[in-house]
Amino acid sequence: MEPLRQDDPREAGPYRLEGRLGGGGMGRVFLGRSRGGRRVAVKLIRPEFAEDPGFRRRFALEAEAARRVGGFYTAQVVGADPDADPPWLVTAYIPGPSLQQAVAAHGPLPAETVAVLGAGLAEGLTAIHACDLVHRDLKPSNVILAADGPRVIDFGISRALDATSHTHAVVGTPGFMSPEQARGRAVGPASDVFSLACVLAYAATGRGPFGAGPGEAIVYRIVHDEPDLAHLPGALADLVRRCLAKDPAGRPGLSDVLDELSGAAQATPEWLPPPVTTMVTERLVQTPTSPPPPEAPGAAAAA
């Protein structure tokens, strides 16, 4: 988390912005606070997307659908304003590192942790699909490791980028997108199952199942090559391999994934290894200190 910069906004609708959480292709994410004092994550959409009226319409529809998503393993969408300048989306703030941050800092996760992770993500995706949404961009940076289990974030708005003149590419992240998504074809829940398998392989080994390198090379391997699962534990490797079937119809459903992982996934306060638990604790107590907002024009002269 970083302090606000001098040129950062200080509010979005009724939410006060307190620090920077990160950013991505669609916009910047800030730590905010509601009028009642609840911490939230506020995503401000990039201006080039906001200029497209079609994007705003799709964003409004997707945000409304995302607000209906419940369950224990998603970050609840609590507000959005597609007509604001810039448009914004607000979710519950989940204290904890992303899966990407945790693995980068401390290496692959233990098998027991990966089982809890997989079961939680499968349950979260089930809740998302129940609202007729497909995540379309499940990846390690969109998974938060909280004290009581994982959370899926950034769902429900990726489809708003479709047909936006500024994208010129399929929505998704090389290394974690399905073959049908990489080909620019229609995607359904089975696409998220493929992405889930890629995320679990990353969690268990520290690398994606289709290797590293330029995005185009990774996408080619996703479409044409078999995954490298050599370093995955046997039972997990078998499940991940089936979830990575090139044909969406050949992949197991999320219910099947849950059935296979739920026995090993007994979520407890100690589900994370100690170094990652420390990362969670640090985020619980972090309070960024921001610089004062820039003075209004003429204020210095009047002083």
Tens of pLDDT along 24-67?
A: 778 899 999 999 999 999 999 998 888 888 889 989 998 999 99
Distances (CA, A) of 299 to 152, 293, 294, 302, 303: 45, 12, 10, 5, 6
Do the Cβ atoms of 97 and 144 come closer than 8 Å? yes
Residue given tokens 């590419």 in the structure block: 169
Share of the chain above pLDDT 90, in %: 75
Query: Tell me, what DSSP letter sits at residue 255?
Result: H
Higher pLDDT, 103 or 170: 103
pLDDT computed for residue 165 by the predictor: 44
pLDDT at residue 292 is higher than 80: no
Tens of pLDDT along 100-139?
A: 999 999 999 999 999 999 999 999 999 999 999 999 999 9
Tens of pLDDT along 278-290?
A: 999 999 887 555 5
pLDDT at residue 266 is higher than 80: no
Domain ranges across the chain: 1-93, 94-284
* CATH topology identical between 1-93 and 94-284: no
Identify the active-site residue in 8, 52, 137, 154.
Answer: 137
Distances (CA, A) of 300 to 120, 295, 296: 54, 7, 8
Q: Looking at residues 259-270, what average pLDDT do you find?
A: 75
User: What is the spatial distance between Cα 92 and Cα 107, in angstroms, rounded to a whole number?
Assistant: 27
Q: What architecture (CATH level 2) is domain 1-93? A: 2-Layer Sandwich (3.30)
Does residue 43 have a known ligand-binding role?
yes
- What is 94-284's CATH topology? Transferase(Phosphotransferase); domain 1 (1.10.510)
pTM, entire model = 0.89
Identify whether 137 is a catalytic site residue.
yes
Share of the chain above pLDDT 70, in %: 87
- Buried b / exposed e across 38-60, counting CB within 10 Å, b at 16+? eebbbbbbbeebbebeebbebbb
Tens of pLDDT along 198-248?
A: 999 999 999 999 999 999 999 999 999 999 999 998 889 999 999 999 999
Strand partners, 41: 31, 91
C-beta neighbour count of 197 within 10 angstroms? 28
Which has the closest alpha carbon to 201: 114, 102, 119? 114
Do the Cβ atoms of 116 and 266 come closer than 8 Å? yes
The tokens describing 211, both together, are 């290797």
User: What is the spatial distance between Cα 2 and Cα 8, in angstroms, rounded to a whole number?
Assistant: 12
C-beta neighbour count of 215 within 10 angstroms? 13
Q: Which runs of consecutive H residues, i.e. helices, occur in the chain?
A: 47-50, 53-66, 99-106, 111-129, 179-182, 189-205, 215-224, 234-243, 254-261, 274-285, 299-302
Confidence of residue 299 (pLDDT cuts 50, 70, 90): very low
